[in-house]
Amino acid sequence: MRRESVARAFVGALVRGGPGGTPRPIEAHAADPQRYVGDMLAWAHQACASERELLDTLFSLAGGGDPPAAGGRGLDGQRSGDAKARLLATVLESIARPLEIRIRQTIDELDEPAAVYRVDGLLEFYCELFAVMCPVDSVFLSTARGLAVSARAKLASCLDALVEAAVNDVDVVGMRSSSSGGGLVSPALEVPASLRVLLTVVVNVLRLHEDSISQPRTGSGGVSAAVAPVGETVARVLERVHREMHAAIGQSDHDKYLRPYEQTMLKLNILNAMQDATMPFTDELCQWHSLGAEEERVLTEQLCAQLVEILKAKSHLPFGPASEQLVEEMGVDRLAVCWDRFNQTLKAATDLDLGRLTARLHSHVAARAVGAQAAQAFVAEYAALQSRVAAVVVAGGSEPGDALLAALHPPETVATLL
């Protein structure tokens, strides 16, 4: 009897509302997913509390008029509690199906991650409240938890769709030459707009989460009802987009569109954009930030090595694994020509300008650090080469050798001019 009564009352609240239309029917707010789902869950929670209070009263009367807290005087306390729990589960089972149909339909129709998270937060909130009053194996509680799982899965699905869009943008960029003006990445190695959209959405979801857990809420029985964290879901999304975008940039046939060092700089720009956007949420995304810091270190070292190779190639000096033998074979005259070209290039401040080479790094701090590290590595190799050349010249003892020695800039001068 109570099953049918509660079921009718729920349907009435959905389509007719209260006496005289106040409050308005719940379905009048179906266009507002958060309010619609929240009103249904609030009604179910109120019904759950009312039915439990009614059962407490009935069992109290059956036990000789004792108050609910003293139920053990008439009926065995444990048996009484189990019986009330079973009866409450039976009553609430009548609204589980209509509640599930409406909330699941609402979740399925949502496509905006922030809206999905608001519904997800409501379901998590009420699941904690229902868990205090309903048996663990009740149909109603299982239904509510299933809806919460569905909402979280929908949130992950929405974010995954944005990840696909971001990765596809980079993949298209890699197949088209940015230098011809046809690519989505400009010569400045801009972060794709689709990634910025994803980061904006992620930040909005995390802010909603912070707002939810920063406001104290109290459920029945004094149970904390803070919204469940979404850090794991967001971290998984960030790790996936980082991994797949970097893989798309580094495909083997992309070297003809972006030079290797440009690919590394684009990867760093993407990583720095992700880190900057999520920096206010280090507590929720601790694992992601640790991964990002390590990846930044690896990419920075890789870029420095690539820049050093560029400097060595443009210096016209005899660098290489067999440079000692090469220096001896070249002779003073050829070495003098090489050093003269190097000195002219160094003074021109174009090909060997590390500031220009790193200008497309969006982080000025990273650009300065990479430039300084690359300059230091190049100067160290230059110093070793200069020592080998000086040794050859001194051993030869010729007049052209003296001129070459005079042309050899000390490493400190080279470091200053780079």
398 lies in a domain? yes
The predicted structure's pLDDT at residue 274: 96
Residue 40's domain spans which residues? Answer: 1-109
What confidence tier does 63 reach under pLDDT thresholds 50, 70, 90? Answer: low
Tell me, yes or no, whether 284 lies in a domain.
Answer: no
The answer, yes or no, to whether residue 222 has pLDDT greater than 60, is no
On the question of pLDDT at 179 being above 60, the answer is no
Cβ–Cβ < 8 Å for 141, 72: no
In a domain, 254, yes or no: no
Look at residue 255 and tell me if it is in a domain: no
Q: Is the pLDDT of residue 322 over 60?
A: yes
- pLDDT for the residue 417: 80
pLDDT at 300 over 50: yes
Confidence (pLDDT) at 365? 93
What are the pLDDT digits (tens) for 128-140?
999 988 888 899 9
Q: Is residue 276 part of a domain?
A: no
Q: pLDDT-based confidence at 359, cuts 50/70/90?
A: very high
> CB under 8 Å to 221, separation ≥6 — which residues?
132, 133
Q: Which of 62-71, 293-302, 354-363 has the highest mean pLDDT?
A: 293-302
Least confidently predicted of 145-159, 202-216, 373-387: 202-216
Is 202 part of any domain?
Answer: no
As a whole number, the mean pLDDT across the chain is 84
Q: What is the pLDDT of residues 6-60, one digit of tens each?
A: 999 999 999 988 777 778 899 999 999 999 999 999 999 999 999 889 888 887 7
Domain edge (last residue) among 109, 140, 165: 109
pLDDT of residue 226: 34
Which residue, of 50, 81, 109, is where some domain finishes? 109
pLDDT value for 76 = 59
Domain boundary residue among 109, 126, 154?
109
Q: Is residue 166 part of a domain?
A: no
Task: Examine residue 290 and state whether it is found in any structural domain, yes or no.
Answer: no
Question: What is the pLDDT confidence band of residue 393, given thresholds at 50, 70 and 90?
Answer: confident
Is residue 323 very low, low, confident or very high in pLDDT (cuts 50, 70, 90)?
low
State the DSSP code for 359.
T
Give the H or E element holding residue 217. none
Q: Which of 64-78, 211-225, 381-395 has the highest mean pLDDT?
A: 381-395
% residues pLDDT > 90 (the chain): 48
**pTM of this prediction exceeds 0.75:** yes
Query: How many separate domains does the chain show?
Result: 2
Report yes or no: 236 and 157 within 8 Å, Cβ to Cβ: no
Q: What is the 3-state secondary structure (H, E, C) of 238-299?
A: HHHHHHHHHHHHCCHHHHHCCCHHHHHHHHHHHHHHHHHHHHHHCCCCHHHHHHHHHHHHHH
pLDDT of residue 219: 43
